[in-house]
């Protein structure tokens, strides 16, 4: 698997990957909304034999400003259970460290994200607009685990949540 930054030529194959992985266009629209808001901190695609088989996207949080949110993680359905998602997250968190992010928050399956260094305990004092039982934190800078913070996500998150609920 080769991991590289997203290019404009990747838009169609990325939309196909996201639509197939998530069963509809909402995640691709979410990625576009994050870009339009200039909230994207990192987008990478996993490529094999010239085809996009995975994707990771992190957004910059509004508050705290030096934190990121792991926003989208997608692996081609025919590549599941092979460790690719774990590899994407590991490489993504290494990139977040290099770029100076102090912590990364994710809303998702705590058991899955625990295996790649995220912690629900580290996130337990966060005030979040989303389900706290699914919120985990990957602390990077000293003192970010167990920190009391009110999380404010990019506006694209609110629109995604509204679209998923209705």
Distance from CA of residue 42 to its chain's centroid? 9
Task: Find where tokens 């995220």 sit.
Answer: 118
pLDDT category at 166 given cuts 50, 70, 90 is very low
Cross-strand bridge partners of residue 63: 152
- For the beta carbon of residue 47, count every other beta carbon within 10 angstroms: 16
**Close Cβ partners of 61 (under 8 Å, ≥ 6 residues apart):** 67, 68, 69, 105, 151, 152, 153, 154
Please give the Cα distance from 8 to 10 (Å, whole number): 5
- The per-residue pLDDT for range 1-10, each reduced to its tens digit, is 899 999 999 9
Phi, psi of 114 (to 5 degrees): -60, -35
Architecture of domain 2-165: 3-Layer(aba) Sandwich (3.40)
Residue 165 clears pLDDT 60, i.e. is over it: no
Q: Which of helix, strand or coil describes residue 134? A: helix
The answer to whether 113 touches 143, Cβ cutoff 8 Å, is no
Q: Where are the domains of the chain?
A: 2-165
- The per-residue pLDDT for range 65-123, each reduced to its tens digit, is 999 999 999 999 887 778 899 999 999 999 999 999 999 999 999 999 999 999 999 99
């Amino acid at each position: 698997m080769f991991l590289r930054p997203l290019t404009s030529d990747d838009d169609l194959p990325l939309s196909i990957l996201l639509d197939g992985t998530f069963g509809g266009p909402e995640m691709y629209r979410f990625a576009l909304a994050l870009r339009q808001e200039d909230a994207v901190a990192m987008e990478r695609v996993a490529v094999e034999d010239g085809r996009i088989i995975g994707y990771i996207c992190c957004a910059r949080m509004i508050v705290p400003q030096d934190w990121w949110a792991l926003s989208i993680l997608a692996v081609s359905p025919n590549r599941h259970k092979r460790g690719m998602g774990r590899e994407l997250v590991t490489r993504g968190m290494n990139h977040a460290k290099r770029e100076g992010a102090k912590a990364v928050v994710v809303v998702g399956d705590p058991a899955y994200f625990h295996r790649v260094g995220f912690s629900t305990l580290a996130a337990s004092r966060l005030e979040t607009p989303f389900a706290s039982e699914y919120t985990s934190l990957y602390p990077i800078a000293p003192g970010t685990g167990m920190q009391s913070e009110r999380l404010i996500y990019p506006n694209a998150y609110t629109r995604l949540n509204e679209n998923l609920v209705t």
